[in-house]
Amino acid sequence: MFILSEDSQRTQGRDAQSSNIMAGKAVAESVRTTLGPRGMDKMLVDSGGDVVITNDGATILNEMDIEHPAAQMIVEVADSQEEEVGDGTTTAAVLAGNLLGEAEDLIEQDVHATTIVEGYHEAAEIALEAIAEEVGEADVDDEVLQQVAESSMTGKGTGGLTAASLAETVVEAIRHVDTDDGVQRDNVTVHTQIGASSNATELVPGIIVDEEPAHDGMPSTVEDASIAILDVELDVRTGDVDAEYAIDSIDQLNAAIDAEEGELEGYAETIADSGADVVFTTEDVNDRVATALANEGILVFEGLGDSDARQVASATGARRVGALDDLEEADFGSADRIHTENFGDDDLAFVEGGAAAETVTVFVRGGTEHVVDELERAIGDALDVVATALESGEVVPGAGATEIAIADKIRQEAAGIEGRKQLAVTAFADALDVVPRTLAANTGRDPIDALVDLRAAHESEGRAGLITDGDEVTIADPFEYGVVDPADVKREAVESATEAATMIVRIDDVIAAE
């Protein structure tokens, strides 16, 4: 009896487990060398020739053309990490891959997959307890937040600007949106602009819109602006049906022209009489209307995309108006200052202060497209982790110190676990060693020697990580060097990696239908 179609392929038992584990390990290995301050970048080239240069784990995995379903689960680990806490994507993916590697060894020793899964989940619970024990006692103030931001960005493509310089801007941005209701992370945006060096990166108290004035004669700066947002086409109305009109005399032609002129003048007069200083519209503006508004000293931006219009409305407090006759002062938003600047071939509108001050923009500069793209990713991750640290108030040592502490606690607890599950718990601890081993390898140190030294220092001093200072790599307390991570980043990495690894290990039958 045939249950599956003839075109279906089926892999069962040990072969299915081996195939899935191998795929997961391969994906994790592809990002392992990007980990840490000395991590290397990857160049990803798609079929169209577009190039992405980055060492961000989530970006690398999403850009790769991965088809294997088990390998896709590792990508989902990175995506989950990115979405929840914004950083630690490489750590999560690498940990998941090594959990699979340890599970493969246990399966070869005839340890049942269910036993491995139970052991891994028990080890993960111990790991979360260990992370709580590693939380620093000091308050998470601006200095600590800057350390969090710097730790997140160190080793990423920050161009000519050091991570320390960027960290101050990142913390200032997050502090700006820290309210009684929590950190409003969505009120911080990142806008990139090619040109100048990364040292020109700055914080703008408001939003930036990639638009230019509708007329050259319009003012480039408006102070204390009243802002209207229209979904109205400021042009001569046309019918929905093609039609022809017969004109028999000059008087009829003049009347038609006068009617058209009157309609356009009416648009300009209505806007001018409303008291609006600045107008954003999602539709087109006739040149004659633009000229009339320029003569009135009104600044107009036309053809905004829907997302830009929503951003301006949200930042300034303006209400979008769908009919010009409905425009009234109650619909206006406000800003202390709106000005336009030219950057090469691009014109940008800066909406600053007033209602817009609730939103801030990190204006990122860089010499090339690849530089600004990687800066955008680095700053985005830093903003996320600083927001996470500020909300939770918990940070743990970085530089591999937390992983060393977790592994040590798991090994101690494993001694009290009976049966083969103890092997899985111990294997979980061994998998955690991949983080300090990889950090050591990426700095040029022997991974085994570094791991031994870290364990010894942890036993004797209580906290030890691999500190990279210039060309020197030393073992010391990361807190003393300001190398810290939000505790939630470590928790999420442990939880997401464990879930993905245990799900893959439990699969013993793969059915592929053509």
CB proximity list for 242: less than 8 A, separation 6 or greater: none
Residues 182-201 have pLDDT tens digits of 888 888 888 888 877 777 78
* Confidence class for position 238, pLDDT limits 50, 70, 90: low
Give the amino acid at 276. A
User: What is the domain partition of the chain in residue ranges?
Assistant: 11-136+396-512, 206-352
CATH of domain 11-136+396-512: 1.10.560.10
Residues 432-457 have pLDDT tens digits of 988 888 888 888 888 888 888 888 88
Distances (CA, A) of 502 to 80, 110, 271, 358: 16, 16, 63, 44
β-bridge partners, 2: none
Mean pLDDT, the chain, whole residue set: 81
d(CA 337, CA 224): 6
CATH of domain 206-352: 3.50.7.10
pLDDT at 102 exceeding the cut of 80? yes
d(CA 167, CA 151): 9
d(CA 494, CA 397): 16
* Confidence class for position 109, pLDDT limits 50, 70, 90: confident
What is the DSSP secondary-structure string of 259-282? HHHHHHHHHHHHHHHHT-SEEEES
For 177, other C-beta atoms within 10 Å of its C-beta total 18
| Catalytic residue set | 56, 89-90, 381
d(CA 153, CA 157): 8
User: Which token pair is 111?
Assistant: 């340890």
For 110: left if phi > 0, alpha if psi spans -120 to 50, otherwise beta; the answer is left
Instruction: Tell me the mean pLDDT in the region 226-254.
Output: 66
Instruction: Tell me the mean pLDDT in the region 453-472.
Output: 81
Return the pLDDT at 299: 92
CB proximity list for 132: less than 8 A, separation 6 or greater: 487
* Confidence class for position 126, pLDDT limits 50, 70, 90: very high
pLDDT at 507 exceeding the cut of 80? no
Instruction: Tell me the mean pLDDT in the region 110-119.
Output: 87
For 261, other C-beta atoms within 10 Å of its C-beta total 12
